[in-house]
Structure 1
Amino acid sequence: MLFTYHIVKLPLISAIRILFFPPKHTNGLIQAEIMSGMTLGAPVYSISRILTRQIVMFAQWKDEESLEHFLQTKPFGKKLTKGWYVKLLFLRQWGTISGFEIPKHEIEIEKMDTTVVAVTIARMKLLEIPRFIRWGIPVEKLVRDHKGTTLSLASIRFPRTISTFSIWKTQQEMLEMVSGHSKVEKPKRHLDAMKERNRKDFHVEFTTLRFQPLEEYGSWKGKSTYTQK
């Protein structure tokens, strides 16, 4: 099985159409989350918070042939090839999420200088969203400003799905951030948010997935080497 993460900027009408009418019945597609991009750390009511034209897709495929067929023959797939995407090798999962077929076998990478990718997906409890925002915005800023990331962003699908994506230069830097040991201002922001979640959960479902990037394609914001140190 194969996971991919895609980012593309589309005309507004095209982006809205995809969000309301996502592709269905694609052979070999196990599950896809199609969302609007969000600016990490931006104020909730800022016009730059939700980037409607920026479409994000996180997907799981039966095999590479299914992915290639989708990208080469389907209208939405062809649009995605005009952006940037990365193929991902599953390593580990924390939590659970419905729809995806997460492998039971986990892979442990011993080398701490290995580049890794983190993806989170949350199905929110609607009444807990204000509290989630209060604790989540500081964490967004922590990840956004961290020197260990080469690319970090968030995405949303109304009314309740929120996701984050980050590429870390090294596994060590990601683990330090999670545990509150990064050499940055207020390093425990992520750790404190996790403690608050454990005290009273924000989510109906939540998972954190760790991957090793395999290959990246295209470009995003003029760059095409996000997974290279």
Structure 2
Amino acid sequence: MTISHASGYVTRYLHMVRQASVTVGQQVGQGQLLGYVGSTGNSTGPHLHFEIRRNGAVYNLAPAYSCGGTVTKGAPINLPFADLAPADAIPERFAFVNSAGVAFAKDGAYSPWQAINAGGATKVALSGNWIGWLQSGNFYAKDGIHGQWLPLAEGGQVSEIAVSGGGWFAFVGGGNYFAKQGAYAAWLTMAGGGQVSEIAVNG
């Protein structure tokens, strides 16, 4: 499978064991399932043959990766890529919720709208690459339009949400203010007493 990027870069994912989970011409995003690794090619076990090319020429991965080395899911590729915006560049993203509770988002003013839930949302919040969504008193978030939804706070008591590009999430539940840094961290009680109605988070 080959994915085209800006400035003449492509990434290639080879020796996969099943048919790709995406189709030719489909736009894909960070965290999206592309396929499954296998043991095709000249190998002794499951692996991913990964390449980066620019304008047809192979891009040297050796400074960042070694053959047989271990990689970490979600870790950035620690290599310079001339003419590419930094990975942490904040996208131009727009979002709204329609009368049926379907949340829509798009990256760039001229891109097509994409539905990001099935309905029932009452609020959407954006910050950095994160999209937050309030539905039926529950708080969900996803990392980018194509990421997987994560249930952050459930139980039907959430009345207000906020997200930060720095990885902070916050909500009001039962009139109390809760926040955490990181999708999998424990919630901190920022303000109790049952009187909180609106919140903000930054950084």
Determine if the TM-score, normalized by the shorter chain, exceeds 0.5: no
TM bucket normalised to smaller: under 0.3
With normalisation by structure 2, the TM-score equals: 0.25
- TM-score w.r.t. structure 1 length? 0.23
Higher-helix-fraction structure: 1
Q: Which has the larger radius of gyration?
A: 2
